């Protein structure tokens, strides 16, 4: 439940005047509800199910485990798929699944001309940026909890190494699960999961060409065919190439993508599905800003989004080489019993290079902070006047591997009046991380211990960049240490779930995961061996066929975060911790293909932060007064409300709208100034709205308005410094010459059409607080042609 007392202490949060957060929330509800209600009163040409139809538990059928091969390349264009892959072990319908989830369909990806995950997450108000740099893969947070890149991203339900920009060219949809998913993810972070669903083989020949107003160039081909008398073999190939021209100077790059999907139907009961994708990408990486002196936000009107901090001609690009591959075998034994086995391998190899803007400038002789007129400034933030340190950062050969295998048996049986849908099986998961480490004995003096991180000079955010002679500033030139094993994590688990159909349209879902974790963090020398029981419970009730009421409860174990390099316990991993969640919600799906979802949740986890010591303590026994120690003390409690509307409200209107209100409060932290404060980088209100409207008398032309609101975000843990709220307006259009059956579709889409200057996030990824400038206006043009 909400902490209403906390809300009463913030009267501005309850302000409903124009432009206030609550006004934006009310407007989102009004728009979505009005569109849905208005659409129901219009004549409809078709309906997905007879009005008032109800299904008894005995008449319900298990969702088929096998996948029907599509015989053409057309897909539903209503922004709402039938089933949900993420968060359900048995492929439940999204409208009946007792979880809060959003699906961004292929059609919506096309309408918004999406290229990166950062383009896609803007469709869900419960998801925010946590560290999204130009030219680098992004970190995101769900319900205010950062996603663990080791376990938080999946493709077709199998975990992939999240340190990559997963290509979208071969994806049919992107699913967002909000909240705990312990049965599926095991030991992971609690915010939720992001799952990419791949395109399956179909008869299709299509090409895409695109550009933007900065000169990016993009081309892609989607080719598929079905072979055999009964179309029992299917193949789909996706190829793409892109020249990348971002809004930040000198961050240009390019990428190439190849993906292959196959379906082999050995018999009506058995099908094998395979997927393989590879992406090579090279692009310069830009740094974010920090608070000035740790106490103020840079003047946004004096800096430019096109500026790369510390830009130097000797800067090297990041290079990404990643592949993800998987296979899945489904077999149906009988009407009531089926099984599947799946395995996946994900590998991301990164040459990480950046001119890193961090902290203050230093005196070259004494090595002390050298901020103009501020000799006692904190070295972990930019100087009060905007001066910052420039570092040569090179971390070659970062290698991350995720491997997973699972086997499940799915079945149905009856015990008297109760019907049981059961799923049980096992899973193995491996996570391996290799990075530069300590130099070998007798190595040259210029071989660094780990990555190269070398101070080469200073710049100022309000002044043009000046050349820095790397040869003299870094003499001799540093070389990273040899690649070594940093982390080796193994999980083996047994999984069971029972969905009990009780008379009266009630379902009781009980599941658990018995997980054995062996995690070795060699960088800290602290192994973790743990066995944990992760339960999840849910109940659903259908008073009418179009309405689902649900509640769920779950517990999740997460690995402890790692201390920042500048604390007294650098690189130390803290102990694993539990997060608990309780949630209630409702899903309403009227005759039209639209789904309205509302949920209220409460999540609680430990609070982690760098603490200023009064003396030695348990986490830093050798610490001294005034030192910084990375600790877990107190807790953060996230109470939230979510609303979403997605689907086709009428023949002329499609919607994707959401709103999230979050009270994320830290308590009992050991630092009084941090108690009862909103956790940094979490807006109290975030809304999104996107619509596709067919214009009267111009059925070939669609208008696509979009809007989002993000409340202010705190940038310090005592909430004394924050960045302002922002409204962003987007606008797009699509045109099909010759009508809806045209082979050609042209999309024009513009983000931030008013070119608002704003700060997009204030996350403390890795313990350091960075603030990032939001992107300026970006206009994309694409053309899709189907042969």
Question: pTM score, two decimals?
Answer: 0.89
Which residues form the domain of 265?
A: 4-786
Calpha distance 111→222 (Å, rounded) = 17
Burial of 762 (0-12, 13-18, 19+ CB in 10 A): buried
Given this model, what pLDDT does residue 252 score?
96
663 versus 69: the higher-pLDDT residue is: 663
CATH no. for residue 298?
A: 2.40.170.20
- Distance from C-alpha of 355 to C-alpha of 310, rounded to nearest angstrom: 6
Q: List, for residues 174-200, the tens digit of each pLDDT value.
A: 999 999 887 888 888 888 999 999 999
According to DSSP, the residues that pair with 324 across neighbouring strands are: 277, 346
Average pLDDT over residues 421-444: 93
Contacts for 18 with CB less than 8 Å, ≥ 6 apart: none
Residues 6+ apart with CB under 8 A from 62: 90, 336, 338, 410, 411, 412, 421
The answer to whether 390 and 455 have CB atoms below 8 angstroms apart is yes
The answer, yes or no, to whether residue 704 has pLDDT greater than 60, is: yes
So what's the pLDDT on residue 415? Answer: 94
As a whole number of angstroms, the distance between CA 238 and CA 202 comes to: 12
Confidence check: pLDDT of 47 > 70 = no
3-state percent helix, strand, coil for the chain, nearest multiple of 5? 5, 50, 40
Please compute the mean of the pLDDT values over residues 88-104 and round it to a whole number: 87
Per-residue pLDDT, averaged over 535-553, amounts to 95
pLDDT at 525: 65
- Cα-Cα-Cα-Cα torsion 463, 468, 474, 475, nearest 10 degrees, comes to -150
In whole numbers, what is the pLDDT of the chain averaged over residues? 88
> Given this model, what pLDDT does residue 738 score?
81
| Residue 2: other Cβ atoms inside 10 A | 14
Q: For residues 781 and 484, what is the distance between their CA atoms, to the nearest angstrom?
A: 44
Name the phi and psi angles at 147, rounded to 5.
-75, 140
User: What is the percent of the chain with per-residue pLDDT over 70, rounded to a whole number?
Assistant: 89
* Exposure string over 222-244, b if 16+ CB within 10 A, otherwise e: bbbebeeeebbbbbbbbbbebeb
The backbone region for 543, taken as left when phi is positive above 0, alpha when psi lies in -120 to 50, beta otherwise, is alpha
Determine the average pLDDT of the residues in 334-348: 96
Q: For residue 523, what pLDDT is reported?
A: 63
CA distance 604 to 190: 10
Domain count, the chain: 1
Measured CA to CA in angstroms, residue 423 lies from 91, 182, 406, 770 at distances of 11, 15, 12, 44
Predicted pLDDT at 591: 72
278, 257 contact by CB (below 8 A): yes
User: Which pLDDT tens digit goes with each residue over 627-676?
Assistant: 999 999 999 999 999 999 999 988 899 999 999 999 999 999 999 999 99
Overall average pLDDT of the 407-429 stretch:
95
Q: Tally Cβ neighbours within 10 Å of residue 480.
A: 22
Q: Which of 92-96, 345-349, 362-366, 535-539 has the lowest mean pLDDT?
A: 92-96
Tokens of 75: 């897909």
Using the Cα atoms of residue 107, residue 113, residue 116 and residue 118 in order, give the sign of their dihedral: negative
Give the 3-state secondary structure of residue 710: strand
* Distance between CA atoms of residues 594 and 435, nearest Å: 47
Measure the CA–CA gap between 569 and 628, rounded to whole angstroms: 9
In Å, how far are 446, 454, 546, 564 from 481, measured between CA atoms? Answer: 9, 14, 60, 20
Nearest-angstrom CA–CA distance, 684 and 719: 13
Q: Which of 25, 12, 77 is nearest to 734 (CA)?
A: 77
User: What are the Cα distances from residue 521, in Å, to 30, 59, 530, 571, 781?
Assistant: 50, 51, 14, 10, 46
pLDDT of 476 strictly over 50: yes
- Average pLDDT (613-633) is 92
Residue with tokens 């409208």: 95
Find the mean pLDDT for residues 141-170: 94
Which residue carries 């990480």 as its tokens? 352
């Amino acid at each position: 439940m909400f902490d209403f007392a906390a809300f009463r202490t913030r009267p501005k949060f309850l302000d409903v005047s124009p432009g206030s957060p609550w006004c934006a929330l009310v407007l989102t509800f009004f728009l979505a509800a009005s569109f849905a209600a208005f659409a129901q009163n219009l004549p409809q040409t078709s309906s997905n199910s007879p009005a008032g139809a109800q299904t008894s538990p005995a008449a319900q059928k298990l969702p088929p485990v096998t996948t029907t091969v599509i015989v053409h390349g057309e897909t539903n264009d209503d922004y709402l798929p039938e089933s949900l892959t993420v968060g359900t072990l048995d492929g439940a319908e999204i409208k009946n699944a007792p979880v809060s989830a959003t699906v961004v369909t292929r059609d919506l990806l096309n309408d918004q001309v999406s290229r990166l995950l950062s383009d896609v997450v803007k469709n869900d108000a419960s998801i925010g940026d946590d560290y999204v740099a130009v030219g680098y893969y992004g970190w995101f947070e769900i319900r205010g909890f950062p996603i663990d890149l080791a376990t938080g991203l999946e493709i077709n339900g199998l975990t992939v190494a999240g340190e990559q920009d997963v290509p979208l060219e071969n994806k049919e949809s992107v699913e967002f699960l909000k909240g705990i998913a312990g049965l599926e993810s095991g030991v992971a972070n609690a915010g939720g999961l992001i799952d990419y669903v791949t395109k399956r083989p179909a008869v299709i020949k299509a090409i895409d060409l695109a550009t933007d107003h900065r000169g990016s160039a993009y081309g892609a081909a989607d080719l598929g065919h079905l072979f055999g008398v009964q179309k029992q073999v299917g193949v789909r190939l996706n190829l793409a190439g892109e020249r990348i021209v971002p809004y930040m100077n000198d961050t240009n790059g390019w990428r190439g993508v190849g993906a292959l999907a196959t379906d082999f139907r050995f018999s009506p009961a058995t099908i094998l599905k395979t997927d393989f994708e590879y992406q090579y990408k090279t692009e310069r990486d830009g740094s974010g800003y920090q608070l000035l002196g740790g106490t103020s936000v840079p003047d946004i009107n004096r800096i430019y989004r096109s500026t790369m901090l510390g830009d130097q001609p000797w800067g090297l690009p990041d290079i990404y080489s990643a592949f993800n591959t998987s296979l899945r075998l489904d077999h149906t034994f009988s009407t009531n019993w089926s099984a599947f086995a799946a395995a996946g391998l994900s590998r991301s190899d990164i040459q990480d290079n950046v001119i890193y803007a961090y902290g203050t400038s230093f005196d070259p002789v004494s090595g002390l902070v050298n901020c103009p007129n501020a000799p006692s400034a904190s070295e972990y933030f930019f100087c009060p006047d905007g001066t910052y340190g420039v570092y040569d950062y090179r971390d070659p050969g970062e290698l991350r591997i995720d491997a997973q295998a699972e086997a499940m048996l799915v079945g149905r049986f009856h015990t008297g009046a109760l019907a049981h849908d059961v799923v049980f099986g096992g899973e193995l998961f491996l996570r391996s991380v290799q990075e530069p480490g300590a130099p070998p004995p007798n190595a040259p003096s210029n071989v660094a211990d780990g990555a190269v991180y070398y101070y080469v000079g200073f710049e100022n955010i309000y002044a043009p960049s000046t050349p820095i002679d790397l040869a003299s500033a870094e003499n001799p030139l540093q070389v990273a240490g040899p690649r070594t094993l940093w982390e080796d994590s193994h999980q083996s688990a047994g999984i069971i779930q029972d969905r009990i159909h009780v008379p009266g349209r009630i379902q009781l879902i009980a599941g658990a995961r018995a997980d054995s974790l062996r995690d070795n963090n060699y960088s800290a020398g602290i192994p973790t061996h743990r066995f944990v029981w992760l339960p999840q419970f849910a109940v659903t009730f259908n008073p009418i066929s179009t309405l689902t009421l649900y509640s769920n409860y779950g517990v999740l174990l997460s690995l402890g975060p790692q201390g920042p390099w500048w604390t007294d316990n650098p690189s130390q991993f803290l102990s694993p911790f539990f997060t608990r969640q309780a949630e209630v919600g409702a899903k309403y799906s009227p005759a039209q293909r639209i789904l309205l979802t509302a949920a209220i949740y409460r999540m609680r986890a430990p609070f982690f932060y760098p603490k200023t010591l009064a003396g030695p303590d348990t986490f830093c026994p050798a610490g001294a007064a005034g030192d910084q120690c990375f600790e877990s003390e107190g807790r953060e409690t996230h109470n939230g409300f979510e609303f979403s509307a997605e689907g086709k409200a009428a023949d002329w209107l499609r919607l994707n709208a959401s709103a999230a209100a979050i009270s994320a409060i830290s308590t009992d932290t050991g630092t009084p100034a941090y108690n009862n404060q909103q956790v940094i980088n979490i807006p109290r209100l975030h809304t999104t709205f996107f619509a596709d409207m067919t214009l009267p008398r111009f059925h070939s032309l669609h208008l696509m308005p979009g809007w989002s609101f993000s409340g202010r975000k705190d940038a310090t843990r005592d909430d004394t410094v924050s960045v302002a709220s922002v409204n962003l307006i987007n606008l797009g259009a699509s045109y099909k010459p010759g009508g809806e059956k045209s082979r050609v579709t042209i999309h024009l889409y513009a983000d931030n059409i008013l070119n608002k200057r704003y700060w997009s996030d204030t996350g403390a990824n890795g313990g350091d607080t960075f603030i990032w400038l939001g992107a300026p206006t970006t206009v994309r043009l694409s053309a899709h042609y189907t042969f």
